[in-house]
Structure 1
């Protein structure tokens, strides 16, 4: 009996790691300043053998027929704004019910919609270098001609919570903040040292929780503070847009929604509803509903 207890005690001393072993965390979720991720890297997502959150809890409530939908955005109330193939702006309630439609007086390509401000919706026309502001009923409030503001060409733009404008000047590779009330630029951040010799492909810009996120399809997601000071880079290359929900950033990759926690750096994967993964172009996730964009239109799911 004493001999058996002695052998058992020795086994715990020799093999403690087998009892305390934990799962190894996912590879570098954040690239520190000065150490850019490889340009050819694909979005960092959960491994294929890691468990994913099933989409079985998603309930299809509506299908919106909107061929070739363009850029889209959700406001804080869950209202959805979508550009169609003719660059009209469609407004839908959280459950996908049609509310309003804005038709521009002159043609232009909608490169970005930003509705997170709730009181104002920003529409960026990249071909005519114009910013249009709409109210929450999709009625015009005002507009800015960027050719009068920038000595160059804006590639992407967004509206800050304080109604200031963030602009990415592609001509001189600067990130600039414009105060429309004072009619002056308040901050300017050069990007040439961050980008190096790579050829960036800027696609999306959004200020969220006092940080500014700039999506470069080639290099990843650059993160700045709300004054334009560079903080870090997320190694999610190959993206055209990102979304935010709570404390998480999310994007579509590998036929699933990849969530990345902004503070714990944890990553998780949510599977798409069966039968839609091959045709999905974009996904927006709100508090109660998710919106899956395909070539035929938008599928609205209750979460």
Structure 2
């Protein structure tokens, strides 16, 4: 009993002495535009922002200027957008078990059926070598699928990583030859590009995340932005002026916040 008390006391002392860093920064609103209820979002390397709404439309913005809209004939919620390469934008529909690619004009290619890849793909994204990373809920693991050869090249079971009775995968993305998967109940899993499990970033409740430099960032509690260095795990926080569903850092000192009704852009000012 005494050892437990000492251990807890030591933990709280460390937490008090070494709290997460807080940005010495303020946010100044630049512009805002009304949007329909967003369900997924992404940003490309040209800092264009893509927002999918509940009607199945995908809108592309430059800052808050609407550039163009993709409205598919077969509507449905877009589960995931990977738009980092604006010449080959990846779209995944979990409900339809389908994926497709859009070009820079948001013109659609053929829609591809996911069931041929997996009996059920809960989450899917484009890899850096233009193949597919798949979270397979039925076989409970991470897979990589080679599109050209039509076969799996990597299969990593989740059995020793996740609780099979209590998990909720919310997002997946490859970045800097690492694969990141957010489980809302336990944290963000990190794998190398060969599918080997490396570590878990200890955070719960993450719905979406993005990257800047060597840092992963996500919204916590709807109104705090947290940045985590993907190599050192060093953290910093920034209080947000509004509740938000998605956040994107760009142009070194800009922040885009996407709420239920608006896309707002801010400049980040040093105190």
> How high is the TM-score relative to the length of structure 2?
0.87
The structure, 1 or 2, with the larger RCO (C-alpha pairs under 8 Å, 6+ apart) is 1
* Equivalent position SS for 1:83: strand
CA distance in 2 between partners of 1:163 and 1:191 (Å): 23
Which residue, 236, 239, 245 being the options, matches 1:281? Answer: 245
Q: Report the equivalent of 1:259.
A: 227
Residue number in structure 2 paired with 1:70: 39
Q: Deviations over 1:163-200 (max 9, x none)?
A: 01111111110211111111221111111121245411
Whether contact under 8 Å (2:53, 2:77) holds in the other structure is no
1:302 corresponds, among 252, 261, 267, to 267
In the aligned structure 1, how far is the partner of 2:251 from the partner of 2:142? 31
2:185 to 205, 218, 230: 218
For the 8 Å contact 1:176–1:185, the answer to whether it is kept is yes
Quote the offset at 1:60 in angstroms: 2.0
Render the CA deviation track for 1:43-75: whole Å, top value 9, x for unaligned: xxx84xx6622552x332221211312210001
SS at match of 2:195: coil
Other-structure match for 1:59: 28
Residues 69 and 224 (structure 1), Cα distance of their counterparts in 2 relative to 1, 3 Å cut: same
| C-alpha distance 54-292 of structure 1, shift in aligned 2 (>3 A) | farther
Q: Does 1:135 align with 2:135?
A: no
Count of aligned positions: 253
Q: Which has the larger radius of gyration?
A: 1
Instruction: Identify the residue that residue 203 of structure 1 maps to in structure 2.
Output: 170
State whether residues 54 and 77 of structure 2, in contact with CA within 8 Å, keep that contact through their aligned partners in structure 1.
Answer: no
Map 1:236-251; keep pairs closer than 5 Å. Answer: 236-251=203-218
Q: CA offset at residue 208 of structure 1?
A: 0.3
* CA–CA separation in structure 2 for the residues paired with 1:129 and 1:188: 19
Q: Any residues of structure 2 matched to 1:76-225 within 5 Å, and which?
A: 76-93=45-62, 95-150=63-118, 152-225=119-192
1:209 shift after superposition: 0.4
For residue 244 of structure 1, report the CA deviation from its aligned partner: 0.7
Q: CA deviation at 1:25?
A: 6.8
Q: Secondary structure at the match of 2:211?
A: strand
- Unaligned runs of 5+ residues in structure 2 are 1-12
Matched, 1:233 2:200: yes
Give SS of 2:22's match.
coil
Secondary structure at the counterpart of residue 149 of structure 2: coil
Seen in structure 2, the aligned counterparts of structure 1 residues 51 and 193 have a Cα distance that, compared at 3 Å, is closer
Kept in 2, the 8 Å contact 1:134–1:142? The answer is no
Whether contact under 8 Å (1:250, 1:260) holds in the other structure is yes
- 2:256/2:264 contact within 8 Å kept: yes
Aligned counterparts of 2:92 and 2:151: Cα–Cα separation in 1: 19
For each residue in 1:211-269, what CA deviation from the matched residue of structure 2 results, as whole angstroms up to 9, or x when unmatched? 00011001111111011111111111111111111110111114211111112221111
Pair 1:197–1:105, CA change in 2 (3 A): closer
The Cα RMSD (Å) is 2.0
Question: TM-score, with normalisation over the residues of structure 1?
Answer: 0.78
Deviation of the 1:148 alpha carbon: 2.2
Deviations 1:13-44 (A, max 9, x none): xxxxxxxxxxx8769xxxxxxxxxxxxxxxxx
